[in-house]
C-alpha cells in the first residue's frame, strides 16, 4: 500500500521559519559586517514580530505548531533516543531545541532593546536604564548571539544527519508542508484557522509597537533664558 501524504507544517509555521532564517542572516550582516545599527534595529523589530507571532501560534495554531504537542517530558525523550518514538511534527529532542532557540532569541530581543554601540546609537529602551547597565546588556546581547550561532550550526548539522544518515528528509516538508505518513494513524495537522491568524498577527504587531519605543515621549527641556543685558 502506497504511503499517504499528509500536511505536516501549516503555512504560518513555514513562513515564520524561513522569514526567521533570512532575518537572522540580515541581523548578522547589519550588526557584525556592515555595522549599520539603524537597519539592525529594524530587523530586530521584525524578529520581535516573528517571535511574538510564533509564541502565540504555539498556543492557538495548528496541532503540530503547538507547544503542548511537541514539548514532551523525559519519558518521550528517552523513548526517542532508544528509537522507540514515532509521531508527526517535531520529535521530542527537536521540540526542546525549538524551545531553546526561542528562549535565546527572546533573550536577544530583550537585551538588544537596551543596547548601544558606544557611539551614536542606542536601543529603543536604553533610556530606561543607566549607561553602565546598557553596556552590560550590550555585552550579553553579543554573547547570546554567538551562543545562538552555535545552536544554529547544531540545528543545521542535525538536519544533514537526518538526511544522509537516517535517510529522513526534514527540509522538504518545511518548504512544501507535506510529507509521507509513517503510520496509518498519522493525520494532517489541524486547526489554526483565519481567526487564530488574525489574533496572532494583532498580538505580534502590538509587541512590535511596544518594542519600538514610539510610545515614549522624552521630557521637554526648559528653554534657556538669556540674561537681560
Which DSSP state fits 65? G
Question: Rounded CA gap, 73 and 52, in Å?
Answer: 24
| Pairing relationship of beta strands 5-7 and 178-180 according to DSSP bridges | antiparallel
225 pLDDT more than 70: no
**Mean pLDDT computed over 165-169:** 89
**Mean pLDDT computed over 188-194:** 94
Q: What is the mean pLDDT of the chain?
A: 92
Report residue 155 CA to chain centroid gap: 14
Q: Residue 229 — very low, low, confident or very high, per pLDDT cuts 50/70/90? A: low
Q: Which three cell numbers stand for residue 113?
A: 532593546
**Mean pLDDT computed over 12-38:** 95
Residue 69's contacts (CB-CB under 8 Å, 6 or more residues apart) are 63, 89
Lowest-confidence segment of 36-50, 56-70, 74-88, 212-226 by average pLDDT: 212-226
Cβ pair 85, 76 in contact under 8 A? yes
pLDDT value for 189: 95
Domains and CATH numbers, the chain: 5-181+188-212 (1.20.950.20)
| Full-model pTM | 0.91
Q: Which three cell numbers stand for residue 202?
A: 494583532
Amino acid at each position: 500500500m502506497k504511503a499517504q501524504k499528509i500536511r505536516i507544517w501549516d503555512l504560518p509555521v513555514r513562513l515564520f521559519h524561513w522569514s526567521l532564517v533570512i532575518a537572522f542572516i540580515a541581523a548578522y550582516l547589519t550588526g557584525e559586517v556592515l555595522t549599520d545599527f539603524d537597519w539592525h534595529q529594524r530587523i530586530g523589530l521584525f524578529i520581535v514580530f516573528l517571535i511574538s507571532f510564533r509564541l502565540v501560534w504555539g498556543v492557538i495554531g495548528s496541532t503540530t505548531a503547538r507547544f503542548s504537542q511537541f514539548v514532551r517530558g523525559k519519558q518521550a525523550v528517552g523513548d526517542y533516543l532508544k528509537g522507540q518514538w514515532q509521531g508527526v511534527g517535531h520529535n521530542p529532542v527537536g521540540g526542546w531545541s525549538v524551545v531553546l532557540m526561542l528562549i535565546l532569541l527572546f533573550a536577544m530581543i530583550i537585551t538588544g532593546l537596551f543596547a548601544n554601540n558606544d557611539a551614536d546609537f542606542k536601543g529603543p529602551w536604553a533610556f530606561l536604564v543607566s549607561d553602565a547597565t546598557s553596556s552590560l546588556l550590550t555585552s550579553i546581547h553579543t554573547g547570546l548571539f554567538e551562543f545562538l550561532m552555535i545552536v544554529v550550526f547544531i540545528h543545521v548539522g542535525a538536519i544533514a544527519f537526518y538526511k544522509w544518515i537516517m535517510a529522513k528528509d526534514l527540509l522538504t516538508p518545511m518548504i512544501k508542508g507535506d510529507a509521507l505518513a509513517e503510520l496509518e494513524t498519522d493525520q494532517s495537522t489541524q486547526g489554526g484557522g483565519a481567526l487564530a491568524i488574525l489574533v496572532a498577527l494583532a498580538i505580534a504587531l502590538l509587541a512590535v509597537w511596544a518594542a519600538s519605543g514610539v510610545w515614549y515621549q522624552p521630557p521637554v527641556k526648559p528653554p534657556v533664558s538669556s540674561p537681560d543685558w
